[in-house]
Amino acid sequence: MHAQDPDFTGPLVSDEKEEETTEGLVFYSDRFIFRSNTLDDLTIVVFTFERGRQEEGFYGEFMGAIFERNRWAFFEGNDKYAYASSDLKNIFPSYYAKVGGSSVSGFQMEYDGGDFTIKVSSGPEKELLHTQNGATLNKKMGIAEAVMTVHGKEHWGDLIHESLFWKGFNGLRRYNGLFKDYQGFYLRSEEGQQIYFHKNSADQNAFKTRYNLPEALLQETGVVLHQDKAPLHFEKPIRLNPIERSTPPFALYKIPKRWEVVVNPEYGSLFLWSRKKKSINWLLGGYVIMAIEGVIKHSEKEERLWGFAEYFP
């Protein structure tokens, strides 16, 4: 979501109008994260389709990026686009990208622009998490086996599908207080463990009160899922400890690049680091996406892991 995206060029709503009604506002987001099965040839593709309704009518936005050959590249067309349909549950294509299929039949995604022609095909989706299931805010995550083709090469892996519905939220608005030192991770391990966690230092109760919203995002969530085993939850507060930070050129904030994350005493700890160059979209507020690698350590045992992470200052 572009709630604090500094490069967003759409109409902004002044914070002086925080008492305005949220009636009629609807926001949908579907994010797809492809992660390759191998760490040595790590490939990540991110597609995000956002759309909503506000007083001026319907809108859509697309954001995409790829990590391959140890470098990130943003896709063309990362901006608003004409949204002719009022059926916001389904994803109307942008000029560069489109999505077909469903969680039951599997998804098919295509992107064609600039230096990249990409196709992603997945099998049926299995629900991983249903983190929020309220009347005005619904957030869930599923996973499916998938194959991605770029530059004529196939990469096998999995596809994370994260969907969000938020009534009363305006995706084109730049909100203050939604994120603060936000860190979110989407990881997988050599043995197939799915690890998801995020931590947000922003006060979500204050945020929903300020903007007259009945529900807001959870400040922290952490879970490990593996085959048919019961979900293993992170101890709270999540001990997500950056052990190294760096300052991007011309920025006034530091971004984390190495972490130690304690899950719980029985499971052990995650030791993580960002891989090679990071792709940074920043000005004033900032947004960073990272390819992550690391290890799970418990006693003398180690297991490699990798995936995608994002950071809001």
How do residues 10-28 score in pLDDT, each as one tens digit?
332 333 344 445 668 999 9
Query: Residue 9: its pLDDT value, please?
Result: 32
Which region, left, alpha or beta, applies to residue 191 given φ > 0 means left and ψ of -120 to 50 means alpha? Answer: alpha
- What's the CA dihedral at 192, 199, 120, 296 to 10 degrees? -20
**Mean per-residue pLDDT, 200-214:** 95
- Lowest-confidence region among 92-106, 163-177, 187-201, 239-253: 239-253
Mean of the per-residue pLDDT values of the chain: 88
Length of the chain: 313
300/104 Cα distance (integer angstroms): 41
Give the pLDDT band of residue 1 (cuts 50, 70, 90): low
Cβ-contact 12, 149 below 8 angstroms: no
97/48 Cα distance (integer angstroms): 10
Cβ-contact 257, 274 below 8 angstroms: yes
Query: Residue 247: its pLDDT value, please?
Result: 82
Residue 47 CB burial class (10 angstroms; 0-12, 13-18, ≥19): buried
Query: Residue 4: its pLDDT value, please?
Result: 42
**Is the four-CA dihedral 109, 146, 140, 189 of positive or negative sign?**
negative
Query: Residue 280: its pLDDT value, please?
Result: 58
Quote the pTM value. Answer: 0.90
Q: Which of 9-18, 111-120, 167-176, 297-306 has the highest average model confidence (pLDDT)?
A: 111-120
Does residue 14 or residue 187 have the better pLDDT? 187
